[in-house]
Structures are given as C-alpha cells and as structure tokens.
Amino acid sequence: MLWAGEPVQRPLYVAADGVTAPAGLVLTAAALWFLLVKAPSGAAMAAAVVVLVIGLYGAVGRSVVRYLALGRTTYALTDSRIIARSGLFRQKERASELAGLPAPVLKPGPSRTGTISFGGPGTVTLMGIGEPKRVRDLLTKAIDEATARQAPPESGSSAA
C-alpha cells in the first residue's frame, strides 16, 4: 500500500454536467409542457412521465447521487493498481493496473483539493482528494515503476 485516501471535497458539479444538466432541463420542460398543456391520457401520459423522470435525473439527480456516493468513496494505491471503492447503496470496486496507464492529469479544485484522472475510458478517477500534487507525484512514480517491471529484459548483442 503506497497511499490511501478519500474525497475531502465532494463536487456537486463536474464538467460532464455541462451537457447532461441542460439536456435534462430541456427534457423536463418539454415533458411538463406536454403534461400540462396537452393533458394526455393512457400511454402518452406514461411516456411523458418517464421522460419527466429522466429529465429530472439528468438535471439534478445525477449530481446529487454522485455527491452522496462520494461520501462513501475510498481510494487506494498499491505498487501495481489504483483502486476505488464507491457506491451509494452497494459498494463497488473499480481498479486499474498501473503498468501502461498514461500519466496522471491533475485538475486543481477548491481549497487545495483536486481531481486526478488518466484520460482513458474505464480508468479510475480520484475526485476531490486532498494534497493532489503529492498524490499525482506518487502515482507518476508508481506507474513508472510498474511499467519498468512489466518491460521485457534488455538483451545484449544478438548472436547470429
């Protein structure tokens, strides 16, 4: 174990919400308009209610769920993996092998916190952690060492 931590800052808004929240607001407004102005019945009403729920989740629900889940999140860095345990109701574990990960990218946050990501899809992201520069440096060193362990040994001159 090289490092363990948890979010000290739980962001309510992240960059991905810049698309999801406005789209959710548009869906919510459209569904409300349809329900209030058109007064549908039957299947049309059921569909409008489903769209309303999806819109509300996109507009605010997703951010609230993420905020609450981050309250139960822990991170760990070993010499071979980065691990995140998170979940609102049931803890899920996600891990990324260090060997082959791209260099960690630090996005500074408020009050000396930050988010560290690796740019690849499906990799662990460390959100709202304290001392992010120190953790990024630890990650960089651990990735370099894990990659070096995975590299094939260099051979001398080849005999022909």
| pTM over cut 0.85 | no
Pairwise CA distance, residues 46 & 23, whole Å? 20
Question: Worst-scoring range by mean pLDDT, 18-22, 42-46, 102-106, 120-124?
Answer: 120-124
Confidence of residue 152 (pLDDT cuts 50, 70, 90): confident
Pairwise CA distance, residues 44 & 4, whole Å? 51
157 pLDDT more than 60: no
What does the domain layout of the chain look like in residue ranges? 3-11+72-150, 17-69
> For position 158, what pLDDT does the model report?
53
Cβ(132)–Cβ(114) below 8 Å: yes
Max alpha carbon distance in the chain (Å)?
A: 85
Query: What rounded mean pLDDT belongs to the chain?
Result: 91
Distances (CA, A) of 111 to 9, 28, 48: 8, 34, 42
- Strands in 113-117's sheet, in edge-to-edge order, are 105-108, 113-117, 126-130
Class of domain 3-11+72-150: mainly beta
Q: In this structure, what token pair is assigned to residue 60? A: 């605010």
Question: Worst-scoring range by mean pLDDT, 29-33, 36-40, 73-77, 117-121?
Answer: 117-121
155 pLDDT more than 70: no
Q: In this structure, what token pair is assigned to residue 30? A: 């459209």
Cβ(109)–Cβ(120) below 8 Å: no
- Strands in 81-86's sheet, in edge-to-edge order, are 3-5, 74-77, 81-86, 92-97
